[in-house]
């Protein structure tokens, strides 16, 4: 339990062996020597369908001297047994306790809890190597390889070159007992010894990292238990070279050392972040053996030291689109010397390894429903499909959704207005500010807002305020602020030849101008036209389910996104924010190497659509400038 698998075994079979035969993964580092403690199980009372068991404990071997020694030295929790030592004597119900359930890592996300089956690329294997013998001239390394094959089944082992000069010293230091860290997902497809330690080594970690243009997010994970030990983020220091992606490409084009400087900056930030998660999780960074990275194509290129200039102009050629493997130190990542680094494949010129990660996480190809997956940033990455066919594109939404190019816009941070409502009768607004737990018309708001300071309006509120203005009749379907409304409310103010809406009178004064609305219209039209183009390619009029990935998607209210026509008509309950889905995809490939093959296979099958080359993109864009759309209906919205 909890897998529910069952079988029949000869009396005397170790529980670990029975579990493996049944395909239940129970970790073992010491190879059944009762020293690592990784194989713990609980033997419960219980019943099978046919046999009532009074006490399972009668049907298991009593503790032997090795298990007793482990209990004395390391301590075995009440009711636990070492499955490598305990043997079956009769019918049993065996529990793999949650903390040792190595094949189940639950990732809590906004929309779903995801269970990741564990099958990490790195495994720790303890062996006892035969001592040298004058009559057998086989080298120390060769005898090490031989015993790794005999005890653990590793054939054709290779070894990281830096370890070769260390083998003799490590074997003698461990008194011929050593732990090898084996990586089994190398390009060569042969298993590799990437680390070697005297005695029993009982911990191995990995990192999964999403390099976003604004934020770098990282999980530190135990590769043996599958547990997330720490998660953290930091801002991407490349921001000082340019806020958005294109300005970073321009920086590279205009500065001879630009690419190098940005590569150095992001690698330094990643190394610092590793330090941070390791400090939080009390882990030595040299115990990190595997790293997985995702990022949009420009972040991907800059991190790997590749010039991204080609991505700044048509035909947006990637230097490399397939998956990549490195020694982590080749990318200056400071972890175990033999650690490996895996980069997910990119889908297309502007649909990167981050979109591949999100696709793996949400899995449109694993289901029959037509799923729309969007990651909105300065460039929207869009994936649409189901188990039959998946298509993908990017669309240049620009930075308006992130608060840039908006007169009072700012990033989501304390002091930013995040929610807006407008009374359709009086046209009076109320709003909420990040860091203040009240609406602006509630008691105590003014005082709380004074300490935080209201500084501007962030992306989610820009969507809401424009949608609320539309619902209140302040703006027309074409997005024009109706000047005649000025007679009804002093909040509609003339602003040269156009009008503005006064959202907050005070210091600073926050208004929504005609230009702001235009910027939002352009951004949402780009997103919608990209989505619509993919829907046309799929031959569908509607989508069944929508997933918003990324930070923006977590804050946006689906109803307002639909009122404005950012996304197509869909059952509101089917529109979900899934947080950092790209990071979840990275985590999946870190914990289970089969997911690497899965996404590599799927990415190769995804049809890439280049919006700039599609003749009807322009018309779809023009239609989508209207609120919510010039021709497309939104029946679910009116329900
Ligand atoms: Fe190591 Fe059982 S396998 S203690």
Mind listing the pLDDT tens digit for each residue in 258-306?
A: 999 999 999 999 999 999 999 999 999 999 999 999 999 999 999 999 9
Task: State yes or no: ipTM above 0.95.
Answer: yes
- Tens of pLDDT, residues 303-359: 999 999 999 888 889 999 999 999 999 999 999 999 999 999 999 988 999 999 999
Cα 601 from Cα 154, distance rounded (Å)? 26
Q: Confidence class of residue 103 from pLDDT cuts 50, 70 and 90?
A: very low
Q: Among candidates 210, 7, 186, 181, which has minimal Cα distance to 94?
A: 7
Q: E-assigned strands of 188-287?
A: 192-198, 205-211, 215-222, 228-235
Ligand 1 closest atom vs CA 85: 2
pLDDT surpasses 80 at 204: yes
What is the per-residue pLDDT across 466-487, written as a single tens digit (0 to 9) for each? Answer: 999 999 999 999 999 999 999 9
Alpha-carbon 579 to chain mean position: 8
Distance 30 CA to ligand 1 centre (A): 5
Please tell me the total number of residues recorded for the chain in this structure: 639
Q: Between β-strands 122-128 and 40-44, what pairing exists: parallel, antiparallel or unpaired?
A: unpaired
Q: Report the separation in Å between the CA atom of 205 and the middle of ligand 1, taken as the mean of its atom positions.
A: 19
Among the atoms of ligand 1, which is closest to the Cα of residue 82? 2
Q: Which atom of ligand 1 is nearest to the CA of 28?
A: 3
Ligand 1 atom closest to 35 (CA): 4
* CA 96 to ligand 1 center in whole angstroms: 14
The count of other CB atoms within 10 Å of the CB of residue 13 is 15
What gap in Å lies between CA 102 and CA 117, rounded to an integer? Answer: 8
110 falls in which pLDDT band (50, 70, 90)? Answer: very low
- Report residue 166: phi and psi, to 5°: -95, -15
Tell me how far CA of residue 386 lies from CA of 62, 133, 383, in angstroms: 53, 62, 10
CB–CB of 374/597 below 8 Å? no
Closest ligand 1 atom, CA of 32? 3
Q: Both tokens of residue 422?
A: 């407008």
Is 254 in a helix, a strand, or coil?
helix
pLDDT exceeds 80 at position 430 = yes
Place of tokens 């960074």: 285
Q: What letter does residue 442 receive in the DSSP assignment?
A: S
Q: What is the pLDDT of residue 405?
A: 81
Structure tokens at 405: 């190019």
Tell me the longest C-alpha to C-alpha distance in the chain: 105
Rounded Cα distance between 332 and 237, Å, is 17
Closest ligand 1 atom, residue 30 Cα: 1
Q: Could you tell me the distance, in angstroms and rounded to a whole number, from the CA of residue 143 to the centre of ligand 1?
A: 23
- Summarize the confidence of residues 507-515 as an average pLDDT: 93
Tell me the mean pLDDT in the region 522-536: 96
Query: In 289-439, which ranges are continuous DSSP H helix?
Result: 297-304, 353-362
Residue 174 has pLDDT above 90, yes or no: yes
Edge-to-edge order in the sheet of strand 228-235: 228-235, 215-222, 205-211, 288-295, 340-343, 324-327
Confidence of residue 56 (pLDDT cuts 50, 70, 90): low
Q: How far is the CA of 597 from the centre of ligand 1 (A)?
A: 30
Q: DSSP assignment, residue 134?
A: T
CA 451–ligand 1 middle distance (angstroms): 57
Spatial distance between the Cα atoms of 12 and 3, rounded to a whole number of angstroms: 22
More confident residue, 57 or 311: 311
Q: Which of 25, 30, 203 to mutate to test the pocket of ligand 1 (most atoms within 8 A of CB)?
A: 30
What percentage of the chain's residues is helix, strand, coil (to nearest 5)?
35, 25, 40
Which ligand 1 atom sits closest to the C-alpha of 40?
2
To test the pocket of ligand 1, the residue of 15, 38, 177 to mutate (highest count of ligand atoms within 8 Å of its CB) is 38
C-alpha–C-alpha distance, residues 128 and 303, integer Å: 41
Q: Is 589 helix (H, G, I), strand (E, B) or coil?
A: helix
Radius of gyration of the chain from Cα atoms? 29
- Residue 435: count other Cβ atoms within 10 Å of its Cβ: 16
- In this prediction, residue 494 carries a pLDDT of 93
* H/E run at residue 468: helix 459-471
The number of the ligand 1 atom at minimal distance from the alpha carbon of 37 is 4
| Ligand 1: centre distance to CA 285 (Å) | 25
**194 CA to centre of ligand 1 in angstroms:** 22
Residue 23 or residue 631, greater confidence: 631
Phi, psi of 363 (to 5 degrees): 60, 55
125 three-state secondary structure:
strand
Whether the per-residue pLDDT at 28 is higher than 50: the answer is yes
The residue to mutate among 18, 19, 39, having the most atoms of ligand 1 within 8 angstroms of its beta carbon, is 39
- How far apart CA 177 and CA 131 sit, in angstroms, is 10
Please give the C-alpha separations between residue 521 and each of 453, 514, 634, in angstroms, as whole numbers. Answer: 29, 11, 17
User: Could you tell me the distance, in angstroms and rounded to a whole number, from the CA of residue 576 to the centre of ligand 1?
Assistant: 43
Centre of ligand 1 to C-alpha 16, Å, is 9
Inter-residue contact 123 to 182 (CB < 8 Å): yes
Nearest to 566 by CA among 489, 484, 459: 459
> What spacing in Å lies between the alpha carbon of 94 and ligand 1's midpoint?
16
SS3 per residue for 297-337: HHHHHHHHCCCCHHHHCCCCCCCCCCCEEEEHHHHCCCCCC
Residue 601 has pLDDT above 90, yes or no: yes
Burial bucket for residue 90 (CB in 10 Å: 0-12, 13-18, 19+): exposed
Res. 225 pLDDT band, cuts 50 70 90: confident
Dihedral of alpha carbons 177, 183, 187, 188, sign = positive
User: Pocket of ligand 1, candidates 15, 33, 63: which has the most ligand atoms within 8 Å of its Cβ, to mutate?
Assistant: 33
- The residue written with tokens 């004074």 in the block is 450
C-alpha 81 – ligand 1 centre gap (Å): 10
**Distance between Cα 412 and ligand 1 center (Å):** 49
Higher pLDDT, 368 or 117: 368
Instruction: Convert the pLDDT of each residue in 381-415 to its tens digit.
Output: 999 999 999 999 999 888 788 777 889 988 778 89
With beta carbons less than 8 A apart as the criterion, state whether 458 and 416 touch.
Answer: yes
Pairwise pLDDT comparison (213 vs 428), residue with the higher score: 428
Ligand 1 probe mutation, 35, 80, 127, most atoms within 8 A of CB: 35
Tokens standing for residue 421: 């409502």
Among 26, 39, 46, residue whose Cα is nearest residue 90: 46
Q: What whole-number distance in Å separates Cα of residue 12 and Cα of residue 32?
A: 15
At 474, list the tokens.
């302040």
More confident residue, 632 or 385: 385
φ and ψ at residue 216, rounded to 5 degrees = -105, 125
- What would the two tokens of residue 267 be? 């690698």
Contacts of 139 (CB under 8 A, 6+ apart): none
The string over 599-619, giving b where at least 16 C-beta atoms fall within 10 Å of a residue's C-beta and e elsewhere, is bbebbeebeebbbeebeebee
Counting from 1 in the atom list of ligand 1, the atom nearest the Cα of 84 is 2
Q: ∠ at Cα 446 (440, 448), nearest 5°?
A: 100
Alpha-carbon distance of 393 to 586, in angstroms, equals: 21
| Distance from C-alpha of 45 to C-alpha of 12, rounded to nearest angstrom | 19
Phi, psi values for residue 44, rounded to 5°: -105, 160
Atom of ligand 1 lying closest to residue 83 CA: 2
Query: Could you tell me which residues are beta bridge partners of residue 431?
Result: 420
Query: What 3-state class would DSSP assign to 289?
Result: strand
| Ligand 1 pocket by Cβ (under 6 Å) | 28-30, 32, 34-39, 82, 84
Closest CA to 419 of 395, 396, 445: 445
Average pLDDT on 214-235 reads: 91
pLDDT of residue 100: 65
27, 69, 71, 82, best to mutate for ligand 1 pocket (most atoms within 8 Å of CB): 82
Look at residue 440 and give its three-state secondary structure: coil
Per-residue pLDDT of 72-95, as tens digits, reads 988 898 889 999 999 998 888 888
Distance 67 CA to ligand 1 centre (A): 9
Please name each of the domains of the chain with its CATH number: 15-100 (3.10.20.30), 122-198 (3.10.20.880), 205-343 (3.30.420.480), 362-399+520-631 (3.30.420), 401-516 (no CATH)
For 258, list phi and psi in degrees, rounded to 5. -60, -50
Model pLDDT, residue 49: 43
Joined together, the tokens standing for residue 461 give 């509120």
Question: Which residue reads 């995809």 in tokens?
Answer: 585
Tokens found for residue 266: 């992001």
Mean pLDDT for all residues in the chain: 90
Q: Both tokens of residue 238?
A: 């490349």
Q: Regarding predicted confidence, which is higher, 349 or 211? A: 211
């Amino acid at each position: 339990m909890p897998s529910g698998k069952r079988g029949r075994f000869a009396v005397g079979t170790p529980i670990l062996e029975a579990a493996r035969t049944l395909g239940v993964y129970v970790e073992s580092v010491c190879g059944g020597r009762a020293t690592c403690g990784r194989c713990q199980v609980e033997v419960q009372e219980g019943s099978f369908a046919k046999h009532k068991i009074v006490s399972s404990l009668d049907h298991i071997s009593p503790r032997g001297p090795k298990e007793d020694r482990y209990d004395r030295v390391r301590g075995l929790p009440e009711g636990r047994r070492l499955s490598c030592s305990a043997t079956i004597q009769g019918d049993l119900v065996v529990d793999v306790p949650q903390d040792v359930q190595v094949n189940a890592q639950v990732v809590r996300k906004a929309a779903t809890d995801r269970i990741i089956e564990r099958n990490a690329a790195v495994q720790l294997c303890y062996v006892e190597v035969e001592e040298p013998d004058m009559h057998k001239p086989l080298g120390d390394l060769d005898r090490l390889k031989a015993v790794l094959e005999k005890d653990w089944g590793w054939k054709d082992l290779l070894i990281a070159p830096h370890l070769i000069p260390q083998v003799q010293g490590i074997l003698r230091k461990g008194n011929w007992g050593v732990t090898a860290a084996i990586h089994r997902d190398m390009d060569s497809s042969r298993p590799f010894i990437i680390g070697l330690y005297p005695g029993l080594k009982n911990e191995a970690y990995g990192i999964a990292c999403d390099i976003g243009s604004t934020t770098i997010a990282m999980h530190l994970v135990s590769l043996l238990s599958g547990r997330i030990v720490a998660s953290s983020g930091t801002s991407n220091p490349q921001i000082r070279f340019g806020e958005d992606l294109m300005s970073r490409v321009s920086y590279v084009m205009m500065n001879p050392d630009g690419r190098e400087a940005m590569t150095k900056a992001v690698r330094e930030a990643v190394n610092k972040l590793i330090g941070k998660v390791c400090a939080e999780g009390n882990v030595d960074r040299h115990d990190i053996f595997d790293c997985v990275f995702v990022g949009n194509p420009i972040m991907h290129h800059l991190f790997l030291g590749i010039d991204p200039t080609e991505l700044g102009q048509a035909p947006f050629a990637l230097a490399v689109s397939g998956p990549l493997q490195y020694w982590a130190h080749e990318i200056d990542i400071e972890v175990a010397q033999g650690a490996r680094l895996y980069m997910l494949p990119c889908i297309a010129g502007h649909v990167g390894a981050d979109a591949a990660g999100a696709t793996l996480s949400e899995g449109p190809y694993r289901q029959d429903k037509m799923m729309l997956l969007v990651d909105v940033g300065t460039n929207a990455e869009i994936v649409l499909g189901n188990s039959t066919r998946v298509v993908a594109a990017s669309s240049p939404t620009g930075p308006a959704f992130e608060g840039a190019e908006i007169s009072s816009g700012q990033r989501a941070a304390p002091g930013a207005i995040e929610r807006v409502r407008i009374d359709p009768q009086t046209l009076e607004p109320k709003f909420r500010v990040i860091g203040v737990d009240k609406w602006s018309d509630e008691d105590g708001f003014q005082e709380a807002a004074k300490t935080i300071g209201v500084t501007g309006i962030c992306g989610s509120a820009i969507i809401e305020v424009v949608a609320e203005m539309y619902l209140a009749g302040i703006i027309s379907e074409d997005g024009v602020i109706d000047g005649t409304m000025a007679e009804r409310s002093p909040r509609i103010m003339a602003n040269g030849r156009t009008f503005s809406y006064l959202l907050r009178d005070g210091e600073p004064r926050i208004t929504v101008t005609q230009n702001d609305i235009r910027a939002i219209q352009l951004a949402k039209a780009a997103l919608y036209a990209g989505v619509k183009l993919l829907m046309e390619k799929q031959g569908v009029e509607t989508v069944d389910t929508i997933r918003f990935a990324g930070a923006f998607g977590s804050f946006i209210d689906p109803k307002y996104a639909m009122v404005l026509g950012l996304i197509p008509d869909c059952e509101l309950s089917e529109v979900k924010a899934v947080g950092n889905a790209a990071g979840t995809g990275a985590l999946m490939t870190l914990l289970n190497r089969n997911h690497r093959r899965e996404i590599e296979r799927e990415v190769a099958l995804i049809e890439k659509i280049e919006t700039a080359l599609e003749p009807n993109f322009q018309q779809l864009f023009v239609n989508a400038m209207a609120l919510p759309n010039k021709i497309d209906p939104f029946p679910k919205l009116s329900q």
